[in-house]
Amino acid sequence: MMPDETTFELASIQFGAEPVAVFRFGYERFELRARLGPGNLEHAIAAAAEVAASVFARWSHEALAFAQRVRAGEDGGPVHH
C-alpha cells in the first residue's frame, strides 16, 4: 500500500543558531525548512507552516510550468543555473 500522497507533517524542529521547523509532504517525501519566529512555539510552528504552504504552492506552479515547457520541447536540454 502506498502512503497518502497528500500527507503534510511536521517532521522535526531543529534548535540551532537559527531554529527551524522541517515539514515533509507527499509520497516522494519532499522537505522544506522554515525559520521559526520568536514567541510561543505553537504559534511559531503554525506561522512556519503557512510559509511552507505558500512556498509549496509557488514551486508546484513553477514545476508544472517547467514540465509543460519540456513537453513542448522548449526546455529539453540540460538545466542551467
Q: Let me know if residue 77 belongs to a domain.
A: no
Q: Is residue 1 part of a domain?
A: no
Domain that holds residue 65: 8-71
Report CA torsion sign: 72, 62, 32, 52: negative
pTM over 0.85: no
What is the distance of C-alpha 35 from the center of its chain? 13
Q: Is residue 16 part of a domain?
A: yes
For 18-75, the pLDDT digits (tens) are 999 999 887 677 888 999 988 899 999 999 999 988 888 888 888 899 999 999 987 6
Residue 78 lies in a domain: no
Domain count, the chain: 1
